Structure 1
Amino acid sequence: MTAVPATTTSTAPTTAATTAPEPGGAGRLGQGELRRRVAAILVDHPGEAFTPGEISRRLTRSAGAISNALTVLTDRGQAELVAARPRRYRATTTTADATKGGRTSRTRTAAPAHAAVPAPAPTPVPAKAGPAPTSGTSGASGASGKGGKAPVGPVVRPNGQTYHPRRLADLPDVAALQRLREASIPALLYGPPGTGKTSLVEAAFPDLITVAGDGDTAVADFVGEYTQAPGGGYEFVYGPLITAMTEGRALLIDDATLISPKVLAVVYPAMDGRRQITVKAHKGETITAAEGFYVVAGHNPGVHGAVLTEALASRFAAQIRVSTDYDLARTLDIEPRAVRVARNLARRQESGEIGWAPQLRELIAFQKVSGVLGPEAAVANLLGIAPEEDRDVVAEVVSAVYGRTVAPLALGQQI
């Protein structure tokens, strides 16, 4: 669970970008100002290691807010965690970069709202078609749907893998999702597992926070819970929902329909006109979403336990079907006969004859297995991963395409 630690003494969640009002009238700081002040202390004392509490006393800010700032600096390589008990941080060679571009503090009237982190702006696409860019930036014209008809290059996801955009309402899909975010229209992506729903969302929103849903997902996995602090006692650690709300980030609820409807209900007030939730587990505080906060969810119809309730569906005004792009599979140099098998099975799946067909994920795995164990083993493995109830039909299609009888991948005689 992605979480942002904060002390229980705060009256509102604190983030690296802003801090809650402190006793003594310290007031709110501008976006990123606390992080810059923390970095300045580290830079002024090279080689020294500080605890969040030590910096807190120097800046007269809560230790939770300082801890948040240090966590962000560490994630960016602009600070180094050198001890865990207690946590101590020191400067790195790039810490000075975090002290630049400070903003003046300002008064805020809407509490406990936090400084907004704008949604990532789409990169304009040329109006005329041309060679697709090879950089990891996606986009479409932000002013005209016609501008989005130009091809767009691959997008590099946070894990370094490449995502190839597809068409959605005459736009590259990444640009379409970015427009939905700008308009505050929540989107639900649905389709079989392995079709690229998560990849699309990661490509569209670099600031994404993800909650991976399953039957055990609890309210605490969204809002946070009390955990034991390194120095003893307990502190409330805010969950991904609170982090996304206070930092104005995108939140993906993956496999949302596997989560209990009672648990999902905690997100609904943040998605409607209220844009607020109440954290009952932490003093009943009210959290207000910053500008840029956005919710997108994934749903796998037909997966055991996945239930799309009316309450959940009604929260997502845009519902987008995601299926495998078999033409893309060919451009990725996946063995053409494997793609033919997948297409054939997909047609039978749509007709209701079977319940499974290989998606892009399975085809990519096919190519990897073929490269390691050989093409015959890859074909046998493709049959082996099919559900038992569909295996006879899959074997029939595989045999017809490859011209030979195929059995699931299995151990043979002793060597």
Structure 2
Amino acid sequence: MFSVTELAKMLGHSGGAVGNACETLVARGEAQRVGAKPRMYRATPCTATAAQATPSTPPGTSSPLPGPRQTAPQTTAAPPPGGRPQPVTRPNGQQYLPRALAQLPDVEALRKLREAGVAVLLYGPPGTGKTSLIEAAFPDLITVAGDGDTTVGDLIGEYTQDESGGYEFVYGPLVTAMQEGRALLLDDATLISPKVLAALYPAMDGRRQIQVKAHKGETITAADGFYVIAGHNPGVHGAVLTEALASRFSVQIQVGSDYDLAASLKINSTAVRIARRLATSQKTGELGWAPQLRELIAFQKIADVLGTEAAFSNLVGIAPLEDRDTVAEIVTKAVGRPVTALALGRQL
């Protein structure tokens, strides 16, 4: 087993480049990550084959490790003329099907923005695939799940008690991403207090540095490849996109559900048609809620387990109370029979 630091010293490359190369190997199944603090890696049965296929370089010459900002493994190729880009495998093993963004596959577009150092904010309702896209684009991703209780210590680090009863300072995800040149996702960034987010801003501007006041005032400088991307759910209670936060994300991309994708995933066609109808009503202000891709995927799983009738009842039941009657009416009309929220019946 080797840490990123150990490998970087042996190879004579930056820790960021080596860390990204290791994550690429993990994504390909050609290495295994076995530790987090610090990141540790070891070989798999596929590692030897990968080594044989990789050109060796004599000491003192440049190796094929990724250079600055070229941090995301190219797991998708640009689509051939008239063709479609290939699916991308996410860290959890699920496949992501790229969508169009500025005449490019969205995964490729995000990687180009990272190489250029342009921060991106993705916004849209929960369940539309924002996190899935980011995970597909950046296999070296570190994620911070934001909420109203997120503290500066959660981002930068804090003292924790060790096994001997003493205290040691454990770096947070922001410092780890900066030191290792990795991508950092602020999921639900607009739920985090602006005072907490202010600790991040020096790392995103020209300074690319932060000061860890709690750890002897240590200064952390971002390695090549460090990148911040954020997600924002405008309709979630408490989500506030401040001017200070918005100004640091030069590109802001709206993400909605791809109902064509839902159809291609063999999700019940009536459920997809209902979702489109509800989404149209949501856009016109008639409704405040519509099922997104996440809910449609769940619909099909429920239908496969409990049957289609139960899945439609559950679709009505997950609608917010203020919209439930309208949703029930639309679902009833679409399926041709009364549909109410899923509920327990009489005793068997």
Matched, 1:165 2:101: no
Structure-1 separation of matches of 2:91 and 2:125 = 23
Partners of 1:406 and 1:103 lie apart in 2 by 70
Q: Is the 8 A contact 1:278 1:287 kept in 2?
A: yes
- Alignment partner of 1:405: what SS? coil
How far off its partner does 1:116 sit? Answer: 5.7
Q: Does 1:120 align with 2:72?
A: yes
What's the counterpart of residue 341 of structure 2?
Answer: 408
CA RMSD of aligned residues (A): 3.0
* In structure 2, C-alpha distance between the alignment counterparts of 1:70 and 1:94, rounded to whole Å: 23
In the superposition, relative to structure 1, how do residues 303 and 72 fare at CA in structure 2: closer, same or farther (>3 Å)?
A: same
Aligned equivalents of 2:229, 2:279: Cα separation in 1? 26
Q: Deviations over 1:351-398 (max 9, x none)?
A: 111111000000000000000000000000000000000101101110
What displacement does 1:15 show? 5.0
In 2, distance between residues paired with 1:30 and 1:77?
Answer: 19
Does structure 2 conserve the Cα–Cα contact (< 8 Å) formed by 1:116 and 1:247? no
CA separation of 1:120/1:409 partners in 2, compared to 1, >3 Å: closer, same or farther? same
Instruction: Give distance in 2, aligned partners of 1:235 and 1:117.
Output: 31
Gaps of 5+ in 2: 19-34, 61-66
| Counterpart selection for 2:180 from 247, 260, 263 | 247
One of 299, 314, 322 as aligned partner of 1:389: 322
Q: What is the CA-CA distance between 1:31 and the residue it aligns to? A: 3.9
What is the alpha-carbon distance in structure 2 between the residues aligned to residue 234 and residue 178 of structure 1? 39
Contact 2:77 2:85 in 1 (8 A): no
Identity within the alignment, %? 65
Q: Is the 8 A contact 1:117 1:290 kept in 2?
A: no
Q: Which has the larger radius of gyration?
A: 1
Q: 1:343 aligns with which of 262, 269, 276?
A: 276
Task: Classify 1:104/1:224 alpha carbon distance in 2 versus 1 (closer, same or farther; 3 Å).
Answer: farther
Residue 328 of structure 1 aligns with an amino acid whose one-letter code is L
After TM superposition, give the deviation of residue 72 of structure 1 in Å: 2.6
Q: Partner of 1:177 in structure 2?
A: 110
Matched letter for residue 211 of structure 1: V
Shift of the 69–161 alpha-carbon distance from structure 1 to 2, 3 Å rule, reads: closer
Shift of 1:125: 2.1
CA contact (8 A) 1:166 1:172 kept: yes
Q: What does the per-residue CA deviation read over 1:291-337, in whole Å, with 9 as the maximum and x for residues that have no partner?
A: 11110000001100100111110000000000000000000000010
Alignment length, in residue pairs? 318
CA separation of 1:349/1:118 partners in 2, compared to 1, >3 Å: closer, same or farther? same
SS of the equivalent of 1:226 reads strand
Is 2:250 aligned against 1:301? Answer: no
Please report how far the alpha carbon of residue 118 of structure 1 lies from its aligned counterpart in structure 2 after TM superposition: 3.7
State the 1:161 CA deviation: 1.1
Equivalent residue number for residue 72 of structure 1: 39
8 Å CA contact 1:16, 1:72 repeated in 2: no
Conserved 8 A contact 1:31-1:103? no
* TM-score normalized with structure 1 length: 0.71
Change (3 A) 1:155 1:126: closer
Q: What CA deviation, in whole Å up to 9, does each residue of 1:7-46 have, x standing for no partner?
A: xxxxxxx956658xxxxxxxx96446xx9xxxxxxxxxxx
Q: CA deviation at 1:104?
A: 6.8
Instruction: Tell me how far apart the structure 1 counterparts of residues 339 and 346 of structure 2 sit (CA, whole Å).
Output: 17
Partner of 1:129: 82
1:8-407 equivalent positions in 2, closer than 5 A: 15=5, 30-31=13-14, 71-73=38-40, 76-77=41-42, 118-120=70-72, 122=74, 123-125=76-78, 127-130=80-83, 151-407=84-340
Q: Which amino acid aligns with 1:304?
A: H
Q: 1:16 to 1:231 in 2, by over 3 A?
A: farther
Cα distance per residue 1:197-233 (max 9 Å; x no partner): 0000000001000000011111111111111222342
Question: Partners in 2 of 1:193 and 1:286 — Cα distance?
Answer: 36
Q: Any conservation in 1 of the 2:69–2:115 contact (CA below 8 Å)?
A: no
Q: What is the identity, as a one-letter code, of the residue corresponding to 1:120?
A: A
- Counterpart CA distance in 1 for 2:101 and 2:161 is 46
Query: In structure 2, do the counterparts of structure 1 residues 200 and 94 end up closer, same or farther at CA, with 3 Å as the change threshold?
Result: closer
Alignment partners' CA distance in 1, 2:96 and 2:46:
33
Q: Which residue of 1 aligns with 2:24?
A: none
CA distance in 2, matches of 1:246, 1:253: 17
- The 3-state SS of whatever aligns with 1:174 is helix
Closer, same or farther in 2 for the Cα pair 1:69/1:205, shift >3 Å? closer
Alpha-carbon distance in 1 for matches of 2:165, 2:321? 52
Q: 1:343 to 1:16 in 2, by over 3 A?
A: farther
Following superposition, the deviation at residue 245 of structure 1 comes to 0.6
CA positional deviation for 1:103: 9.2
Unaligned runs of 5+ in 1: 6-13, 20-27, 36-67, 80-91, 106-114, 131-150
Classify 1:273/1:160 alpha carbon distance in 2 versus 1 (closer, same or farther; 3 Å).
same
Evaluate the alpha carbon distance shift between residue 192 and residue 70 of structure 1 in structure 2; reply closer, same or farther with a 3 A threshold: closer
